[in-house]
Amino acid sequence: MLVSESVARDLVRLITWFPFRWALESLPAKTAYGLLRAVADAHMALGGGGKIQRNMREVFPGQTDAWFRDQARKCYEAWYVNQLQVIVFPQITRRCLPEILTWEGLEHVREALKAGKGAILLHAHYGPIHLPLHALGLLGWPVMQLGLRTDEGLSAIGQRVAFRLRERYEARIHAPIIMVGRFLKPLFKWLKENGVLMMTGDGAGRARPAGRQLVQPFLGSKMLFPIGAASLAARTGAALLFMTTHRTEAGRFLTRIEPPCFVAGEADGKSGVRETTGRFAEYLEAKVLSNPGPWFLWDEANEIFDLAEEFEAGRIVKMPSLQAGNGPENAGKG
């Protein structure tokens, strides 16, 4: 959910990263998550969510105004939690973790790791991205995330306050994050050592696409999906597992991990990589159609769809693909 830089936004940043951050740090983790949701609800109550609702109406004709308001509220909740939960992570312990996050399909990861070639968890901008990463690391799993962190386009306060403080808090996550744009050889080493790697499968929002992309039908339009995860699975033999996280009616988050798939290697051609990427697009579309709120890219959906059309028409330069070794190759956004 991207917005234009402004004085008002900088004021919100200062409030968020100073008095509000201190308030979050003083609360138990479960209560802190509740406070984040309350802030999102307040934003919605003060007249937010208009663009989200307009974009949703193009995909869900016939729904009631109340339904659109509720889904926009859930979208705000997903975005606020995803953006600010990093402040709460130091308060999460193994003891209180079950009050915050539950799992379905974690046994699929255990089973996949028996092959000794690692596992890739492919997720989307759907629910709190780093919560499963932090939780798995907290539980002692060998887990790593491929991510993207940039201060490009931020104001001076955005760079000096929000960006730097976020870096400091992300360093406390119980798992390493390897940044896109750096040498990615550690990813191959990680999988070779039978580690778990998390990657984002629905691109970088409306930002310039990173890595090789596949244009796929999505929500009645088209969207770019990076093929990096499927390509990496094909090259290493690692299992690829689709994953989503959302908040349940009980108030806890649920991470669901699907059974693994294995992508055909290069010797079998590239069709396996494209087919698997297409399957993830279909998987995410089904999740969004059944429960749209947690996908927190609704605010920029039209720009994302336009980007795919420009990319397909060749008006956007394609970024380098993921390589095994010696350069800053890109494969997705975290």
- The pLDDT confidence band at residue 318, using thresholds 50, 70 and 90, is low
pLDDT of residue 128: 97
Q: Looking at 102-111, 146-155, 179-188, 313-322, which range is the least confident one?
A: 313-322
**What is the average pLDDT across 165-188?**
87
pLDDT of residue 25: 97
pLDDT of residue 156: 87
CA neighbours closer than 13 Å in the CB half-sphere of residue 134: 23
Give the pTM: 0.90
- What digits encode the pLDDT tens for the residues 70-128? 999 999 999 999 999 999 999 999 999 999 999 999 999 999 999 999 999 999 999 99
pLDDT of residue 111: 97
As a whole-number percent, the residues of the chain with pLDDT over 70 amount to 88
Distances (CA, A) of 292 to 34, 67, 116, 131, 240: 20, 11, 36, 19, 24
Are the C-beta atoms of residues 274 and 214 closer than 8 Å to each other? yes
Residue 321 confidence (pLDDT) above 80: no
- The pLDDT confidence band at residue 194, using thresholds 50, 70 and 90, is very high
Are the C-beta atoms of residues 244 and 128 closer than 8 Å to each other? no
pLDDT of residue 326: 30
- Return the higher-pLDDT residue of 157 and 119: 119
CATH class for the region spanning 95-312: alpha beta
Name the most confidently modeled range: 1-5, 99-103, 159-163: 99-103
Q: What is the DSSP string of 131-189?
A: HHHHHHHHTT--EEEEE----TT--HHIIIIIIHHHHHHHTTSSS-EEETTS--HHHHH
pLDDT of residue 21: 96
- What digits encode the pLDDT tens for the residues 31-44? 999 999 999 999 99
Q: Where are the domains of the chain?
A: 95-312
